[in-house]
Amino acid sequence: MRIVVLNGVNLDVVGRRDPALYGGISISELETRIYEWASELHCTVRARQTNHEGEFIDWCHEAFDWADGVIINPGAWAHYSWAIRDAVELFTVPVVEVHLSNIDEREEWRRTSVLEGVVEARIIGKGPDGYREGLEFLVKERI
Ligand code: DQA
């Protein structure tokens, strides 16, 4: 099973951000864990991060013909990028939205996600382990 993991804006500096919210883990540590979990679950993962919205959308398009499942943490784009929603809507494979922090219990503006209605599952507030849960969800969906 092939899974694409896309992390968006400001997740490259996640290790510098409030550890109480984001777990104090760097993006490379996070990606290392994701690759380890993927190998335990016998899936092939491509994990990428960008701060450029167009690039993020290009990577969604690339994933259309490759991925059997997708994990997306768009960062703040989740709250306003209709362009990302339009791209995600085109996936014919299951998509899981992950947020490290619990966006439902933070500022009002974080409580809306443009991905609502176009993702199969949403995992929030579980820190890095949310990605593991996302991988497990996608593997179960496939069975
Ligand atoms: C985030 C939550 C967003 O509100 C925020 O803008 C981020 C990270 C998370 O993983 O908790 O950059 O997506």
Task: Give the CATH number for residue 35.
Answer: 3.40.50.9100
> CA 31, CA 26: separation in Å to the nearest integer?
9
pLDDT of residue 85: 98
Write down the pLDDT at residue 32: 98
Exposure string of 111-123, with b = 16+ CB inside 10 Å and e = fewer, is eebbbeebbeebb
- Asked if 97 and 122 count as a contact pair (C-beta separation under 8 A), the reply is yes
pLDDT band, residue 76 (cuts 50/70/90): very high
Residue 75's pLDDT is what? 98
Structurally, the chain folds into a number of domains equal to: 1
Range of the domain at 127: 2-142
Closest CA relative to residue 131, chosen from 59, 19, 45? 45
pTM: 0.97
Is the pLDDT assigned to residue 143 strictly greater than 90?
A: no
Q: Residues 59-78: what's their mean pLDDT?
A: 98
Residue 38: pLDDT above 90? Answer: yes
Q: What is the mean pLDDT of the chain?
A: 97
Is the sign of the CA dihedral 143, 4, 77, 107 positive or negative? Answer: positive
Let me know if 131 is a catalytic residue.
no
- Taking the centre of ligand 1 as the mean of its atom positions, its distance from the CA of residue 86, in whole angstroms, is 20
- The verdict on whether 42 is a catalytic residue reads no
Query: Contact 80/74 with Cβ under 8 angstroms?
Result: no
- Per-residue pLDDT, 7: 98
Q: Is the CB of 49 under 6 A from ligand 1?
A: no
